[in-house]
Amino acid sequence: MESEFSEQNSLTVYRFPNLNGYTEIHHGVFTRLSGFSKGPFQGLNISTTVGDDPTDTAGNRRAISRYFDGNELVFIRQVHGSDIVCLKKDQKNGPAIHDEKTGDAMITNILGKMLVVQVADCQPVLLFDPGQKVVAAVHSGWRGSLRNIIGKTVSSMADHFDCDPEQIIAGIGPSLGPCCAEFIHYRKEIPESFWKYQKTENHFDFWELSRDQLQEAGIRANNIHISGLCTKCRSDLFFSYRSQKITGRFAGAIGLKTGSNGS
């Protein structure tokens, strides 16, 4: 497990073993270690909407951009919905979108755009189609899981970017594990069709649900990697809303490198 972390430019980053070998992409899930933020946001908080000092957040975002060779970070305003923001190469390269567009997933085939989702217990899911050279980043909290934002993103990759789901590599990042995903009011909050993911009393396995949603969308089982790291259990490494309430957000990011083949 620990070997899936790497250190560079003083940042400690979780990297998916099944995405590691692809030299045409950057990717990583950034731990909260190092970074400028203080107090409850201690470390590498990237959210501008949780009450952190904007100067510290900006410094943290710059550090992540540097980790990605200075490439541009792209953020969206996440709302636990199921809207997907597509950035396509043949569209006019408009101004950068920073926390402007609303959505919970991003897809792009444009080089040098690092798609960043902001999470603290929600799942950062990173997708890459090495055939079409398309990347996607998904923010899937439990509400997003119930709306199948993951499956919708894979469908959108196929519909709008000609991706073949059988080729797509997927990583499910550090997030609330079945050990800590307790839903006392699940009978009201979670439809009965999802109750099979209840593993112990009131505790649900959303990792397994995401794996099923990826497979139902056509992704092969052996192309899916689950980090298996629970953010609440490892709040030393990651921000966890359930653990701390007032806390930061960490980054799950993926993008195509500038200068990679197939452009």
CB nearer to Zn ion: pick between 161 and 207: 207
Cα dist from 203 to 150, 179, 195, 206, whole Å: 21, 7, 10, 9
- The answer to whether the beta carbons of residues 25 and 135 sit under 8 Å apart is yes
CB nearer to Zn ion: pick between 128 and 250: 250
Compute the distance between CA of residue 207 and CA of residue 213 in angstroms, rounded to an integer: 10
Among 169, 230, 253, 254, binds Zn ion (CB under 5 A): 230
Between helices 149-161 and 206-216, what is the axis angle to 10°?
Answer: 30
| Interface segment toward Zn ion; rule CB under 5 A; list 15-23, 148-156, 179-187, 218-226 | 179-187
CB nearer to Zn ion: pick between 103 and 252: 252
CB nearer to Zn ion: pick between 180 and 190: 180
- Number of residues interacting with Zn ion: please give it, by CB under 5 A: 6
CB of 231 to Zn ion, least distance (A): 8
Among 15, 233, 258, 263, binds Zn ion (CB under 5 A): 233
177 binding Zn ion? (CB under 5 A): yes
Cα dist from 150 to 39, 116, 210, whole Å: 33, 15, 7
87 binding Zn ion? (CB under 5 A): no
Rounded to the nearest angstrom, the gap between the alpha carbon of residue 240 and the centroid of all alpha carbons in its chain is: 14
179 binding Zn ion? (CB under 5 A): yes
CB nearer to Zn ion: pick between 148 and 227: 227
Binding mask 187-226 for Zn ion (x = CB under 5 A): ----------------------------------------
- The answer to whether the beta carbons of residues 42 and 65 sit under 8 Å apart is no
97 binding Zn ion? (CB under 5 A): no
242 binding Zn ion? (CB under 5 A): no
Compute the distance between CA of residue 32 and CA of residue 13 in angstroms, rounded to an integer: 9
Count the neighbouring beta carbons within 10 Å of the beta carbon of residue 4: 16
CB of 199 to Zn ion, least distance (A): 12
234 binding Zn ion? (CB under 5 A): no
- The answer to whether the beta carbons of residues 203 and 181 sit under 8 Å apart is yes
CB nearer to Zn ion: pick between 143 and 234: 234
Compute the distance between CA of residue 6 and CA of residue 67 in angstroms, rounded to an integer: 12
CB of 233 to Zn ion, least distance (A): 4
Compute the distance between CA of residue 261 and CA of residue 63 in angstroms, rounded to an integer: 26
Q: What residues make contact with Zn ion under the rule CB under 5 A? A: 177, 179-180, 230, 232-233
